Structure 1
Amino acid sequence: MSEGQGHYAGTGGHGAGSQPTPYPQPTPYPQPTPYPQPTPYPQGGPHPQDGPYAGPNPYAQPNPYTQANPYAQGNPYPQGGRPQANPYAEPFPAQPAPVRPAPAAPAAQSPAVAPGAAFDGGFPGPQPRRSRIAVLLQFTLQWIYAPLWIAALAALFAILLWSGASGPSAPDSDSWLKVNRTFVPPRRLKAELTGRPEDWERYVGPILERRIRAAEAAYAAGDGEVGADLSRTMGVKLAVRLYRGLGAAGVVRLAERYGWQGVPSGGDLARVRVSRRFPAPARVSAPGPQDPPAAPGTPWGARPTRSALLLPFMFVLQIAYVPVCWVLSLLAFWVKHPEPDYWDRWGARWGVGPRAFWAEFSGSAAAWDRHVRRVVVRETRQGTNRGAEAPRRIRVNLATYRGAGAQHVLRVAAEQGFFLDPAYLPEPEVCVRLHRPDRQA
């Protein structure tokens, strides 16, 4: 036996002779090692691959796996090349033969989403991109035709105003009046040219946020569609030109950050709608119609009236400054007031109605009572003379009950079957909203 064979047969260290196994057993298939070759380098000696500085290792430790171990669980490579039985070897549990998994069937590739296809909850995806040449041409020419368009509209309105003619019949759509629909702002130019969703998101994100904030302010001012459970729903819609490369699904994801939800478009690819439902107020505190009258100066009592010396001048001058303010508001259409009912508040402050003039000028309680009854009865019966159903909700502004008080409006409205609307928070300093319950309820 060579030294290389003695190393693998269980030697007792470097240079030690082979030790017999304490539990020798006959090898069932004795045969020599297939490739016995003498080892030219003894154990612990240098190896040609160790380099010129390699030498014997004085700290070499005997290999524990080459010593005879009476408790070893079998020698995997005995001298005969076959495993030997070990009486102390613990039987291993039978391992199931590895099962080769069957080759998986190739997954069907999902078809590419076509531009404008509905996905993500049924909302359409990105629309087809416009031609870059067409976008650049429109962006260049709009600085010429937009001013001419606005000048032509102003001239047309001036002619119709001064001539008194009805003019030619206009188309059903009002798009010809809105120049901004054909205007490509510089912020949208980049999104149109690149077509990347992130560029479109940076463009439409501020627009959506601004419209959502305006809708929430309108809700606070009393706007919204009232539901059967007295909740109110506000809606916002965007035209496709504002989100073409993002898709309606992307706009809905942006709206969900503000607590709004998408409204199914029903196949309408020209716009996207989002809405939010606001629950009814938990508690509405207001005096009853039969409660004692509220003290003057309180929210539900009589409000201070304007000076009797100033009222005649306001009554005459409002014939001139009210139309002027109305025209200026039309010209400055980009100016947005924080209060949706801004003009109602402005009229109550700077306007004097012909029927309310004597009541406010004299300060008589009887004159205010007649004026309030006339307005409330007219509003509650509106539409019945034309065969239509009477309104279920009406609003009475401060100019109607300034000297009588908001509680007096509740008293007069109760006689007509109307009560304070529980869907709104009371604002007696601005208006009184009334509600007629269903007859079945």
Structure 2
Amino acid sequence: MPNGQEHGGAYGYGVAPQQNPYGQGAYAPNPYAQPLPTPQQPYTPQQPYAPQQPYGAPHPAAAPHPAAAQQPSAPARFSAPPRPGGLPGPMPRRNRLVVLLQFLLQWIYAPLWILGLVVVFVVVILSDYSGGGPESDGWLRVNRSFIPPRRIRAELTGRPEDWERYVTPLLERRIAAAEATHAAGGGDVQLDLSRELSVGLAVRLYRGLGAAGVSRVAERLGWQGAPSGTDAERVRLVRRFPAPAGLIAPSPQDPPAAPGTPWGPQPGRFAPLLPVVFLLQIVYVPVYGLLTFWVNRPEPDYWERWGARWTVGPRAFRAEFTHSPAAWDRHVRRILKRDTTRELGRTADSYGRLLAPDGTFLRRVHLHRATYRGAGAHRALSIAAEQGWTLDPAYTPDPANSLRLCRPDHR
């Protein structure tokens, strides 16, 4: 059992997933409402943190469930949706003369197009803009009519093998970027606590290969094709990752984590410098955002992490300036109360596919590092446990950056 001196992680995604918490219909009480009996204390040094499952289903860290032997293996339970039938094949090849003309002329009209967009934006900024304009932003997408040199051969020959040579590295890059977001906490949570990632390709990128061919290439990378809805001009690829098999983290009832450890209080910033940062951030935050907005960030919470390092929140200013544990506790409680109120304002129907057949669902909140920096992730977890929040079993604990919490509710 970690005591806060070491980083909590997970056993990885290659082992059997935990029992589906939606398989039980009973609403479980708050696991932290009363002290746990000594004979049944689950937080022994040999076991990871195993918060009670919201609907009565046992956690893998607890005693094996009698029906565990009948559960399908991880690939069977958490495989991507079945490949849809009837994915369209290769489309007719475009006229070679038209392709050549477009390829030659684009080096002239593309720069002029970009220059025209700059002029339009300057005019809009300087004029009394009323907010009207085209409904579609297609006229902004210069890249949609641009043929990169790597694609010209495939466009001219129209052969599926040439298109596959072009699509494969493109697909590998996009899939790698998507999987990086999963490692950082991205992906859509499913009812069984797995998380699904999706990647889309426009038809101009795979015309001669077809959606079926793209799906075939994606299958070699562990992904599968999925219905793209009403958009026939795109192919959608998905991959589903199971929830972590175990949450290695300290119990909210454990002794406080040591300062400087991932679960303990983090070193405070130099107090006399905080007022300067507080004032200058009004200038450098928007400047940095404008200069780097075009950069593709694989981390879904990049700006929260950046803000925790380079900004000072008005609510957290007193806690950071004084380094007072009581001030940090008040700050954590204030932010948790705000997020809880916001989350409770959502109706059960708004959870859609995350609503179990018996009407149960999980409410979720997300505390960032800036909220509990001086108090420590373990202290924030203890405060949250008082209100029934536990670590979200759909995510690997990452106390150095954020706390993802959940709590059961019923329609």
Shorter-chain TM band: 0.7 to 0.9
Q: Distance in 2 between matches of 1:175 and 1:358?
A: 47
Q: Residues 124 and 269 of structure 1 are in contact (CA less than 8 Å); yes or no, is this contact kept in structure 2?
A: no
Deviation at 1:384, TM superposition (A): 4.8
Cα 1:393–1:155, aligned 2, differ >3 Å: closer, same or farther?
farther
One-letter code aligned to 1:355: R
Which of these residues, 276, 283, 286, is aligned with residue 249 of structure 2? 286
Per the alignment, residue 398 of structure 1 pairs with 369
Per the alignment, residue 126 of structure 1 pairs with 90
SS at match of 2:405: strand
Q: Distance in 2 between matches of 1:286 and 1:356?
A: 26
Q: Distance in 1 between matches of 2:87 and 2:410?
A: 40
Matched, 1:430 2:401: yes
- Relative to structure 2, which stretch is displaced further, 119-128 or 400-409? 119-128
Q: Residues 160 and 167 of structure 1 are in contact (CA less than 8 Å); yes or no, is this contact kept in structure 2?
A: no
Q: Residues 265 and 373 of structure 2 are in contact (CA less than 8 Å); yes or no, is this contact kept in structure 1?
A: yes
Deviation at 1:309, TM superposition (A): 2.0
Matched, 1:264 2:235: no
Q: Deviations over 1:380-423 (max 9, x none)?
A: 22165587869822211111110011122222322333211011
One-letter code aligned to 2:313: G
Matched, 1:229 2:192: yes
One-letter code aligned to 1:237: G
Per the alignment, residue 336 of structure 2 pairs with 376
SS at match of 2:308: helix
SS at match of 1:381: helix
Q: Distance in 2 between matches of 1:264 and 1:132?
A: 31
Q: Residues 211 and 235 of structure 2 are in contact (CA less than 8 Å); yes or no, is this contact kept in structure 1?
A: yes
Deviation at 1:149, TM superposition (A): 2.3
| Unpaired stretches in structure 2, ≥5 consecutive residues | 1-82, 352-361
CA RMSD between the two structures: 2.3
Cα 1:268–1:278, aligned 2, differ >3 Å: closer, same or farther?
same
Q: Percent identity?
A: 64
Q: Distance in 1 between matches of 2:127 and 2:272?
A: 39
Per the alignment, residue 217 of structure 2 pairs with 254
Which of these residues, 313, 337, 351, is aligned with residue 353 of structure 1? 313
The structure, 1 or 2, with the larger RCO (C-alpha pairs under 8 Å, 6+ apart) is: 2
Q: Distance in 2 between matches of 1:229 and 1:432?
A: 20
**Pairs aligned (count):** 318
Q: Residues 120 and 249 of structure 1 are in contact (CA less than 8 Å); yes or no, is this contact kept in structure 2?
A: no
| Unpaired stretches in structure 1, ≥5 consecutive residues | 1-118
Deviation at 1:151, TM superposition (A): 2.4
One-letter code aligned to 1:308: A
Cα 1:257–1:350, aligned 2, differ >3 Å: closer, same or farther?
same
Per the alignment, residue 420 of structure 1 pairs with 391
Q: Distance in 2 between matches of 1:414 and 1:263?
A: 39
Per the alignment, residue 49 of structure 2 pairs with none
One-letter code aligned to 2:404: R
Per the alignment, residue 325 of structure 2 pairs with 365
Per the alignment, residue 210 of structure 1 pairs with 173
Larger Rg: 1
Q: Deviations over 1:277-333 (max 9, x none)?
A: 111111101122232221211111111111112212211111111111111113xx2
- Give the TM-score of the pair, scaled to structure 2: 0.72
SS at match of 1:123: coil
Per the alignment, residue 411 of structure 1 pairs with 382
Q: Residues 84 and 225 of structure 2 are in contact (CA less than 8 Å); yes or no, is this contact kept in structure 1?
A: no
Deviation at 1:360, TM superposition (A): 0.3
Q: Deviations over 1:132-191 (max 9, x none)?
A: 2222222222222222222233333344445574532341x3322222112111111111
- Give the TM-score of the pair, scaled to structure 1: 0.67
Which of these residues, 98, 107, 110, is aligned with residue 143 of structure 1? 107
